Structure 1
Amino acid sequence: MRLKADEISHEQGGNWRINSDNAKSMRELIKRMNSYFEEEKSFHHETTLSDSVHGFERRLEQA
């Protein structure tokens, strides 16, 4: 399964130019990611959004 905020935003009818739409899609991405962790499903997380190194490290440790 691929998780990409841009695709989720498109599913939701959002516009990448609107910050609130981006935030909404990122919240959904995190919900899906947490669900996949709980269900021990494999997934691919693709993003062009900046994030702190610590945020990625926490995700990798969780995986």
Structure 2
Amino acid sequence: MQPNVAARVRAVFPVLGSQAGLAAEATVCAMLLQTVSRGDNLTLEGPLRDWSKELRRR
């Protein structure tokens, strides 16, 4: 939710741009979306759905 922090993380960990990194991001996103479906982290639902859409475009 902090684009400047996300950019720094991607710069430090270039593996995130790889296929393995994409798989890891998709896994974490799916896990967090599951918490939303259980009623937790509801404030993150919108950003998580946006992240999910962005991951599918990659």
TM-score, scaled relative to structure 2: 0.52
> When the two structures are superposed, what TM-score results if normalisation uses the length of structure 1?
0.48
Structure with a larger share of its residues in strand: 1
Q: Identity of counterpart residues, as a percentage?
A: 5
Q: 5+ unaligned residues in a row in structure 1: which ranges?
A: 52-63
> How many residue pairs end up in the alignment?
42
Q: Which runs of 4+ in 1 moved over 6 A?
A: none
C-alpha RMSD of matched pairs (Å): 2.6
Which structure is richer in relative contact order (CA contacts within 8 A, separation 6 or more)?
A: 1
Give the helix-richer structure, 1 or 2: 2
**Equivalent position of 1:15 in the other structure:** 16
2:56 is matched with which residue: 47, 50, 61?
50
